[in-house]
Amino acid sequence: MTTDTTTPSVAVLGTGTMGAPMARNIAAAGMPTAAWNRTPEKAAPLRDDGVEVHDDIAGAVAGRDIVITMLADADAVLSVAAEMLPAMEDGAVWAQMSTIGIDGTERCAAIAADRGVAFVDAPVLGTRQPAEQGTLLVLASGPHDALARCEPVFDAVGQRTMRVGDAGAGTRLKLAVNAWLLSAMEGIAETLALAEGLGLDPSLPLEAIKGGPLDMPYAHLKGALIARREFPPSFALKLAAKDARLVTEAAARHGLDLPLERTVAERMGQAVEAGYGDEDMAAVWRLCGIANG
């Protein structure tokens, strides 16, 4: 393993919408970087960015100081971890940066402890463009020394890192922020649909809030997709639906009554069932009854 802790060697497992640009930015920051993806073709272009691409998990993590998992859900992370953990070097850190909910995070922490691997829970806020620009917000939680070792990685992928406590706190904060984000998305979709249904130009609500205390850049960003009736995925609806489900599971686990979050989760699930799962989460607007033409 690398002895210079300021320049760790890194493996990124999962090179989808988020993982691939994260791996590029880590390599660009001067850290020796390896990558693996279940679909090898998705990882192959990273070779042009100086990333070692491996066909097997063990080869990717061997000799690496920090191993990042950036996968779709808890089942995917746990499946990969079964091969990853036995191949990790003694003293290596597992930085779990996927959004997998409270139960998934606890299960990961438990198997890391069984293997004697330091576990960092560090989900991120941001989608495709912030990942590409290295401007994610990292919600880091875990042992102090492990977090310190991960700092160069977090600096490479994000514009800011919040240290929020013991492992698991990062995931809980991510769920709380996602509750707001997903509710806002449904609110934007319904607001613009209502305006159009009432015979107004749907851009008028956005113009009305522009520059005032009710304004939010996110409304304009997602509103533009709705206006164009085009939904290239920055944050895929199927992943938003998964995150909404994780929010409702967390609320139920802690005895909270959050009817809005339950409705949002149901709504996004319906949009996935309707065939819009691979589009951007703004495609939830399609359920509002406005013609797509």
Structure tokens, 136: 């994610």
Domains by residue range for the chain, with CATH: 10-165 (3.40.50.720), 171-288 (1.10.1040.10)
* Residue type, position 96, single letter: Q
Q: Is 226 exposed, middle or buried (0-12, 13-18, 19+ CB in 10 A)?
A: buried
Report helix angle 19-28 to 144-157, nearest 10: 90
pLDDT at 292: 65
Residue 242 to residue 182: CA distance in whole angstroms: 11
pLDDT at 38: 94
Residue 182 to residue 261: CA distance in whole angstroms: 8
pTM of the model: 0.93
**Helix and strand numbers, DSSP H then E, in the chain:** 12, 9
Residue 100 to residue 86: CA distance in whole angstroms: 21
pLDDT by residue for the chain (293 residues), tens only, comes to 444 447 999 999 999 999 999 999 999 999 999 999 999 999 999 999 999 999 999 999 999 999 999 999 999 999 999 999 999 999 999 999 999 999 999 999 999 999 999 999 999 999 899 999 999 999 999 999 999 999 999 999 999 999 999 999 999 999 999 999 999 999 999 999 999 999 999 999 999 999 999 999 999 999 999 999 999 999 999 999 999 999 999 999 999 999 999 999 999 999 999 999 999 999 999 999 987 65
Q: Is 273 helix (H, G, I), strand (E, B) or coil?
A: helix
